[in-house]
Structure 1
Amino acid sequence: MTDDSPPAPTPSPSVPSAPGPAADVRLDTAALRLLAHPLRINVLTMLRQRGPSTATRVADELGINPGSASYHLRRLALGGLIVEEPGRGTGRERWWRAAHRQSQHDPAGGPPEEREAGRPYAHAVALAGADRLRRAADEIPLLPREWLDVSAYADFVLRLTPERAGRVKAEIFEVFARHRQEAERAEQAERPAEGEVPVAFQFQVFPVPGAVAPSAARPDAGGV
């Protein structure tokens, strides 16, 4: 992810950083309802992509007030999605880190209440992704040439059935999974490549707006 905010905090050399995020977490109904808020998703995404931070730093990064940042951090902590990083900060400044590397949610699986909770969650994910893309767009004029040359802002349209769209999505996910495994092996061997930074690949699959008749099912309000 790229944006026009201050750089992410780096661990103090005198204080060892806590262990990194654990394996992926499968979102249950409670977690889906907790994350049915685009700002909360962006807070969690920032901690996963940029490392541990405080409410003040989160507020500066996302352009919100510190009180709002603190509130959303507390909610994420109560839901078990972030944890306090020990040995850092003071009584008035708490450091938080993501508890997991990535969230997993299968909109086609799970019990009915979980599938319904996935509707407002998916809505929030789309809004949060649009906001991150907007902030990335603001940085395009400032990108170094080597990063601009490999960046992509594309839009492809295919005529597909739901079944074929699912197959295309699965194939693309397999490509990302393979490259993530390669990156993890390099990380475990402590051999990061020179110039390596977090790179976001936004991937969406949805019918062209207006092409599909709306479902009779209405999403929950999902406000939290």
Structure 2
Amino acid sequence: MNADPEVGQPPAHLGDRAIDGPVLKALAHPLRVQLLDILSQHGPQTASSIGKRLGESSGATSYHLRQLARHGLVREVPDRGSVRERWWERTPGALTISTPGAEQDPAVREAARQVSGYFERGRAESLAAFMASDATELPDEWSQAATISTLNAYFTADQLRALTRDMEAVLREKLETYRNDPATPGARPVQVHFNAFPLIDTQEPA
């Protein structure tokens, strides 16, 4: 599952990765977080296609993709593209922000704060776009299938930790059951928080 970074949770599955120190500092740039979001949501892209979505030059997106690749966050798609047009994808696995020594290193602590904030801003913008959508952007069947859910309860820290891990395990299992190839007829990008809603592509390339 290509999830946004989770703060404070250790990797629980093969392929998951804790990002800390140098990687956090490299990721602490709003455009780089946007690149990861686009590759997570829309699958493999070129620097040009991402640039069109974001209103950035392909030179800028290409540079930042290479920096992400240096730290193993993205990779080139094998056997696709050419010397002039390289295709990129998210490296599989969930990301976890891990800062065990951050309190001793203000630069790492600040990088973790920035990265978490950039990803949270992206989530908020995706939800706001869905909430503001109308029938011209989203058929009624998709609106009816989505959910925006808030539940309240009292937990101890241990209970909350157990609940989040149990819920993540269920979500991972269900995502693998229902995950479709982007070419599957009727499939579109969906984001699960839990809220679960179809993404409104406000940055579709021209």
Give the TM bin, normalised by the shorter chain.
0.5 to 0.7
> Deviation per CA, 1:60-97, whole angstroms, max 9, x where unpaired?
23343323322221221122111112222222211111
Q: Distance in 2 between matches of 1:186 and 1:126?
A: 25
Q: Does 1:145 align with 2:135?
A: no
**Superposed, which structure 2 residues align to 1:67-146 within 5 Å?**
67-106=59-98, 110-112=100-102, 113=105, 114-115=108-109, 117-137=111-131, 139-141=133-135, 142-146=137-141
The answer to whether the 8 Å contact 2:148/2:194 transfers is no
Matched, 1:32 2:36: no
Q: Residues 174-194 of structure 1, C-alpha deviation per residue, up to 9 Å, x if partnerless? A: 22321312332566xx9xx97
Tell me the secondary structure at the aligned position of residue 200 of structure 1.
strand
1:23–1:197 distance in 2 versus 1, CA, 3 Å:
farther
Contact 1:76 1:82 in 2 (8 A): yes
From the superposition, tell whether residues 127 and 179 of structure 1 become closer, same or farther in structure 2 (CA, over 3 Å): closer
Q: Of the two, which has the highest radius of gyration?
A: 1
Q: TM-score normalized by structure 2?
A: 0.67
CA gap of 1:67–1:134, structure 2 versus 1, over 3 A, is farther
Query: What are the ranges of 5 or more consecutive residues in structure 2 without an aligned counterpart?
Result: 1-13, 196-206
Instruction: Give distance in 2, aligned partners of 1:30 and 1:103.
Output: 15
TM-score by length of 1: 0.62
Change (3 A) 1:60 1:116: closer
Q: Is the 8 A contact 1:55 1:94 kept in 2?
A: yes
Preserved contact between residue 149 and residue 194 of structure 2 (Cα < 8 Å): no
Match of 1:59 in 2: 51
Pair 1:174 & 2:166 matched = yes
Tell me the alpha carbon deviations over residues 116-163 of structure 1, each in whole angstroms, 9 at most, x when there is no partner.
54222222222232333344445444111111012234566x597xx7
1:146 counterpart letter in structure 2: E
**Percentage identity across aligned positions?**
32
Aligned CA RMSD, in angstroms, stands at: 3.4
Question: 1: CA distance between counterparts of 2:24 and 2:100?
Answer: 12
Deviation at 1:103, TM superposition (A): 0.8
Q: Greater share of strand residues, 1 or 2?
A: 2
